[in-house]
Structure 1
Amino acid sequence: MDNIKDAIRKLAQQDGETVALVCTVDAVDKKARTIDCTPVNEGAPLLGVNLQANQSSDFGLVIYPEKEAFVVVGFMADGAAGLMLATDKIESAEMVIGETAAVIDAEGIRLKTAQMSADINKSDIIFNGGKLDGLVVIQKLTDKLNELKDTVNSLINAYNNHTHITTATVGTGPAGTISPTTSKAQTAKPFKKSDYENTKIKQ
């Protein structure tokens, strides 16, 4: 609180052109992007204090203070409308730059670009609406694929080592001879997560 007061004193010393007051927030109007607040020096309440330089903008950076938060409100000597310069408690913040938008609040962060979106909350990270279900856990996928590889290799080894008894009789030869497998199948190689892992996205 003392740091805020010191900053206000410095602002007020600049040729008397700028005046700033410390206030507490009474109400926040997100649609209008304004706040109502009361100076801590018990002055008259301030209504419709702007939260950004151009109140009618729908882009740029807007910080919404919490109700009852301390804020610094600045005024120009020409009587222009008040503008919130700082706050100690933030309820949410919105930033819009071109086609990229971000909203941050106690629930998390929501990001949106022209073609993608990400919603990071307390328990989930949802990309592009979550229509493709969850991300693969790379090590678990690798373990499952290697289990399948082991099963396939067991079958291949059984085939390669198999011998069978022929039943054909040629001339005066024996009626049954042992014949090994004449062609060998190649065993499957182990799976490595580096074969399919995208290291630019981690969890």
Structure 2
Amino acid sequence: MSIVQMFCRVIGDRDSYTAKHSKNVARLMADFAQYSDLTVEDVSMAYVVGIVHDVGKVSVPDHILNKPGRLTEEEFAVIKQHPDIGANILEEVVGLEQVAEIVRHHHERYDGEGYVQGLSGESIPLFSRMLALCDTFDAMTTARCYREKPLSTNEALAEISRCAGTQFDPQICRSFIEFINYQGGCNYLATANV
């Protein structure tokens, strides 16, 4: 846990938004794993994965990471390297090899159009498919430097539903939407940072 806390400090020192986002995603992951009746060990794994999923962004220059407007193709190519870089960092730590592989694949898409390796369907690790949803949900429902206003919970869930079967695993989408609604919908977001 001390290693995970060190990664949290590194992320927070680099970018306060990413640190807050990582904490939100960790809570979403752990709560979603618990809602899905996964084991206590899996719930802990889900939390750790959420905390460290963006550690590879330490390599992204500030002018790209905090750019208020749309990224150029070249800038987006730099951003797309963060899952691989993060996984490479994490796999150097004994005991985090599985976490590293989950982080490596959290921007894969169910239809195979994602990155880093273009995996599709169930060849994407389960926790990576869950992380893709939690990561996207928090990103859509929080203020970002490139967007004036975050989406509402209902708007974010509608977007997730629309992307079921293309970007996201459709079965996990259904479960995630049920989970957010079970947690109280927009009230879940309000309590996420308490």
Richer in helix (by share): 2
State if a TM-score over 0.5 links the two structures: no
Q: Normalised by the size of structure 2, how large is the TM-score?
A: 0.22
Richer in strand (by share): 1
Structure of greater Rg: 1
Q: Normalised by the size of structure 1, how large is the TM-score?
A: 0.21
